[in-house]
Structure formats: structure tokens, C-alpha cells
Amino acid sequence: MRYLQWWPTLIGAMVGAQGTEGHAMTVDSGTAAELRSAFAQDGYVVVRDFVPEPVLAEIRARAAEVVRSQPNAGGKFTNVTKGLEKSDHYFDDLLNSGSHVPVLEMLMGRKPEPTTASFFTKSEHSEQIHPHADALEGGVIWIALDEANRENGCLHFLKGSHLRQEEFSHLDAGTPTDLSDHPDAVEIRMSPGDIVFFRPNTVHWSGPNQSGTERRGFNCFYVGDPFRHLTEEQRIALNKKRQQASA
């Protein structure tokens, strides 16, 4: 399991309320190689204590306000609010210029293409997200806003599955599939401020929250325009389908 401790001089600051305050990053070649190796082989890497508490508090408060204004902006999953960057410039700054962006660029070997920022909440009765892989190239970050463990529905990954995409192409986030006993299954326990970087095509899932307390997370997707190959007619049809699904 690839867990790495970070250090403040490396990450600088996250985005402040008025914009980016990140510092230039300097990573020694050995550490960079270790990070890239973990990301390439496993499809994910966890970094501890990446985000300071004042930033976590602001993310929680601002995300809660967006949820109040658009309570069902996550499509079929009611505990997910997508498109935060469209409602609050703070999340647009985080998505485009947060201190995680240069780390993701180092891991991917190319500049990340911002797509969207999302807020995840898991209450006692919220649905679980079943094992799936997003058939997209790029990167994803997920920041723990609360303690995340098995009891309250933490993330799980199938280590190295991004290298065997055809084997898992049948998986769907809305269809139950039990991979808990798979030899490559990894439980990702996180504390507030920890961050996980992963490939969207690495199989991942999160179970139900059985703790009775809330489990929140902040997510940014970097896959550019996932529908860039669609014609204008196909885009219009897709938008209509989305509107019907969220009605």
C-alpha cells in the first residue's frame, strides 16, 4: 500500500478565498520517482496531511452552501454535488490552481485538464458506490474532509486494475459487485487533510456509511472534456437525457 508523508515546504499553500497562493514546488528526484512509480504501478497514491485545517473548513462551509442552493446536482447519486466550480469561484480556483495540481502533473507526466469539482457526503442512509472504472484518461484527486474508514464508507481501490481495463470493463457504479476478497483490493483509510491521487480507470468504490456520522470528501476530475468526440447533435441528446434523469 502506497502511503507517503508530505511536508509543508513542498506543498506551499492551497488556494485562499481570493485565489491561488501556492509556492513553487521542489521535489528531489528520488521522491518524484517513488511517487511516479506508485502511481504508474498501482493506479493511485495517498499523501498524508496535504491540506491544512483552515482550508478544509472553508471547503466544508462553501460546499455546504452550494448543496443548499442546488441539492440534487450529482445525477443518479444523491450524495454527490458536481460542478462546484460553476457556483463558487473558490472551487474554480482550487480546480485550476490548487497546490495538488503540480503534484498531479508530475504523476501524470503532462498538464492536467480540469473537468469538474465535486462534494461527496455520506450520511447513515446514503447509497454506496459500487466497484467501477471510469473509461477516461487523466487524473483524479480526492481530499478527506472527515475521518474515512471502513465503517463510514471509505474509498477502496483494486491495485493495478488500470493496467487491465478490459478485465473490469463490465463493472458499473450502480450495480452491486463484491470485490472485498479480491487479492488486489485495498482499503484507503484517511484522516482530514489526506489526499489520494488516482487514475480514473483504476477500479474504485466506497461502501455504505454505518457509523451514524457524516463522511465528507472533496474531489476534482482532470480528464478534459470527456465528450469531445461527440457531435453537436449527440451532445444535445446527452444533455436532454441528463435533464430527464435529474428531474
Question: Is the CB of residue 211 less than 8 Å from the CB of residue 124?
Answer: yes
Half-sphere exposure of 150 (CA within 13 A, CB side): 4
Give the pLDDT confidence score for residue 22 in this predicted structure: 42
Structure-model confidence comparison of residues 234 and 190, the more confident one: 190
Find the angle CA(122)-CA(104)-CA(59) to the nearest 5 degrees: 40
pLDDT exceeds cutoff 70 at 246: no
Beta bridge partners of 158: 185
**70: CB partners within 8 A, 6+ apart:** 81, 87
- pLDDT tens-place string over residues 13-32: 333 322 334 444 455 677 78
In contact, 171 and 203? CB cutoff 8 Å? yes
pLDDT grade, residue 239 (50/70/90)? low
pTM for this predicted structure = 0.81
More confident residue, 151 or 231: 151
29-86 residue pLDDT tens: 777 888 899 999 999 999 999 999 999 999 999 999 999 887 655 455 568 899 999 9
Q: How confident is the model at residue 95 (pLDDT cuts 50, 70, 90)?
A: very high
In 3D space, the residue among 184, 194, 201, 102 whose CA is nearest the CA of residue 154 turns out to be 194
| Stretch among 130-134, 158-162, 238-242 having the lowest mean pLDDT | 238-242
